[in-house]
Structure 1
Amino acid sequence: MPLRARSAAARLILAGLVLVPLLAAAREIPAPAEHVDADGPYVFMTSKGHQAQWVCNDHVVERDLPARGAGTVVLPECGYPHPLTVAAPQLASTAQYPATPRIVAVSDIHGQYGLLVKLLRAHHVMDNDDHWSLGSATLVVAGDVFDRGPQVTEAFWLLYSLQQQAAAAGGAVHFVLGNHETMVLYDDLRYVNPKYLKSAQLLGRSYPALYGADSVIGQWLRTRPVMLQIGDTLFLHGGIAPQNLDLVRGLDATNTLYQASVGLPKDQVKAAPDTARLFDGKTSPIWFRGYFDGQMATDQVDALLKNLDLKRIVVGHTSMPHVSSFHGGRIIAIDSSIKNGENGELLFIEDGAVSRGLLDGSRVPLAEGKMGLED
């Protein structure tokens, strides 16, 4: 090929490489759905207690719930199928805990409530009535309940309820914020299921306002951590870039800064000196993918973990066909593509031994990860 032709071809390839991310960035907010069969409840705090709202067959149902005793009970209308107890507003708690004998972890649910229920029942995390049945064990959810799928509301209420039930049984449920939680709450709605834009119209609020600070789930989200350490394992949605080791060393301060930033305008948090790197789309803890795309070799990952005195880092965000081990088990990827609505897996860490739980209830070794990315 003549030099001029090769140069022209190179320019075309380069233009294509530039155009693809530009097209991805230009993704538009979807149009609202024409119909909502069932959604809710959305529960808001009022001066007299709570108000619950549902959308049932395009009809808005409202119920005022005066405060009584320790919690407010919300009986189902449509959407989430179980009665739930609204507890007092939660305070942000520490995100550093001692080692525990049994941890189960999952991530990137993305509105696939039915698949989540099937997976948790199959491994007796909860019983067939969707009540916590894992005793003193710990469940970690590494972010991204929002967006894509059709049952976001139900998934949030299930995790909220399991957290209460686990605490009563001596166990724990930890929810770690993902990039899609921050995106929705700062009004980036490109990946929202059209159903929810229709619900917001019918309820007379913007979609982020359905999770405002005056809502029960919105308040709950604003007190969740971005990074969680249990023993020698760090859980987070994206990952820790080498330049961000100080964010882990000051874990509580980092979580506090994230929590104070949730729901602030996107441009503000991305520009402010104290929060810009927390929301950076490539290197921040909620976005980093460098363990899987060749940015970091295994010796670099090993040095990072030794520097932080960790045995492993468990992350979601980067979709895999299976719960997978990378860099000699130092990194475990738990986004098992539940978002596709077809399959999903759990990670088990039991007295330091790791395995993955399949949808049929069986347990097998972790898959060996293959380098490469999927959004």
Structure 2
Amino acid sequence: MAARFQPLLTVLRRCLLPGGLAVLIGACAATGPTPPFAAIAGDGPYVFHAAGNQLDALWVCGGKVVRSRLPARDGAVVKPRCGYPHAVAIPARIDAGEMPLPAGARIIAVSDIHGRYALLAQLLRAHRVIDGGDRWNAGRDHLVVAGDVFDRGEDVTEILWLLFQLQQQARAAGGAVHFLLGNHETMALYGSTHYVHPALIDNARLLGRSYDALYAADSVLGQWLRTRPVLLRLGDTLFLHGGIAPQDTGLVDAMATTNAAYQHSLGTPRKQIEADPALAPLYDHKTSPIWYRGYFDGQLDTPAVQALAARLGVARIVVGHTTIGEVASFHGGRVIAIDGGLKRGKTGQLLFIEGDRLSRGLLDGRREALPALQEVPRDQD
């Protein structure tokens, strides 16, 4: 009998305030995706550096913790148990550098995946970016993921491992995978669990850590996340999650310094960030590069956006964050929005940049021209 009510008890536990009173209206509604008590059959691996040049790999499989320890001296291969369905190759050293775009290579971009591994894989397979075994299949092309792998859906770690593996495979083929940090990466790692799938919180508890500590600097994924940039320029295109406000163009001029500031501060507690005058502007919920929405909410008109692109010396700015529901062009092609609504779990789209030709890839493998839009739906989370 007790087992039947365990999901409900989990929800109630997550809505208890320190004083012991359950606030079911508002607090429960903000705990994350629905249904909040959906079961997760498998989760992981979470891989941590251990003493003696060892790696500890942990999974939660069917509600039980599974552990494996393996040497890491010359790299390691973690075989699948549950969760991510493929073996994970962990190199002896994580290469933090971003590869330049070779002549003639395509750029493929997507954003705001939010834990939807199966949908992302379906989209990438449909356009032969990856093969049927989820391996890199795009040669010298570059794939850009413009932030927000974290939160909402349940397969966050699985997507991170997919991108981690694809980055190595693409580099070996002469291509590249660029994963940029979004606001949900920074939120999750500074301890904000507002949008985290509740079952992942429970899994972290089973593993003896807080959710953010699963991606701490002693973990392989946490170490990798702390090498990821926020700003990326490929050719004449600037990529980032939210956008650059006109008063913050200096962050792009000093791109290496800006990226280093994010990387070094990732995982710093929110209160500490907000109290630091050097870091607070990088995380500001209105104007920072991971949060800005000024291209879509009326702050900037088309002449202002065109002037901004000219000031930055780019042909276009590609952003996610503001959910359009499709990949589309704004402001005369100076802004390309790529949050195609993957988070909703039903469909998604890719952006293709091939020289001066831009198109979008649909879930069924078709390609079509980008629509030029003027307004966006009010879906701002």
Question: How many residues are aligned here?
Answer: 352
Indicate yes or no: 2:63 matched with 1:62. no
The aligned amino acid for 1:285 is P
Q: Distance in 2 between matches of 1:310 and 1:36?
A: 43
Partner of 2:56: 51
Contact 1:312–1:332, Cα closer than 8 Å, also in 2: yes
Q: Which runs of 5+ in 2 are unaligned?
A: 1-24
Offset of residue 370 of structure 1: 3.4
Using the size of structure 1 for normalisation, the TM-score is: 0.90
Offset at residue 83 of structure 1 (A)? 0.7
Relative to structure 1, is the Cα distance of residues 341 and 30 closer, same or farther in structure 2, using a 3 angstrom cutoff? closer
1:144 to 130, 133, 148: 148
Backbone CA RMSD of aligned residues: 2.0
What are the within-5 Å matches in structure 2 for residues 89-238 of structure 1? 89-93=93-97, 101-238=105-242
Alpha carbons 1:36, 1:199 under 8 Å: kept: no
Q: Distance in 1 between matches of 2:326 and 2:258?
A: 30
State the partner residue of 1:41. Answer: 45
Contact 1:54 1:77 in 2 (8 A): yes
Asked if 2 retains the 8 angstrom alpha-carbon contact of 1:120 and 1:126, the reply is yes
Alpha-carbon distance between aligned partners in 1 of 2:314 and 2:254, rounded to the nearest angstrom: 15
The alignment partner of 1:278 has SS state of helix
Whether the 8 Å contact between 1:322 and 1:367 is mirrored in structure 2 is no
Q: Distance in 2 between matches of 1:42 and 1:245?
A: 37
Tell me the distance in 2 between the aligned counterparts of 1:238 and 1:352: 23
Pair 1:363-2:367 in alignment: yes
Distance 1:109 1:231 in 2: 24
- Give 1:60 deviation, angstroms: 0.3
Instruction: Name the structure 2 match of 1:280.
Output: 284
Between the aligned partners of 1:36 and 1:196, the Cα distance in structure 2 is 8
Aligned partner of residue 238 in structure 2, secondary structure: strand
Give 3-state SS (helix, strand or coil) of 1:245's partner. helix
Per the TM alignment, residue 268 of structure 1 is displaced from its structure 2 partner at its CA by: 1.4
Which segment is superposed worse, 166-175 or 364-373? 364-373
Identical aligned residues as a percent: 57
Task: Quote the offset at 1:27 in angstroms.
Answer: 6.7
Aligned: 1:311 with 2:291 = no
In the aligned structure 2, how far is the partner of 1:25 from the partner of 1:39? 26
Partner Cα distance (1:251, 1:180) in 2: 21
Matched with 1:374 is 379
Within-5 A mapping of 1:218-297: 218-297=222-301
Aligned residue for 2:5? none
Moved over 6 A (4+): 23-27
Q: Is the 8 A contact 1:35 1:198 kept in 2?
A: no
Shift of 1:267: 1.3
Task: Give the C-alpha shift of residue 309 in structure 1.
Answer: 0.7
SS, match of residue 367 in structure 1: coil
Distance in 1 of aligned mates of 2:316 and 2:336: 7
Q: Report the alpha carbon displacement of residue 29 of structure 1 after superposing the two structures with TM.
A: 4.0
Aligned partners of 1:95, 1:305: CA distance in 2, in Å? 23
1:269 shift after superposition: 1.2
Residues 267-292 of structure 1 show CA distances to partners (whole Å, capped at 9, x for unaligned) of 11122111111000010000000000
TM-score, normalization: structure 2?
Answer: 0.88
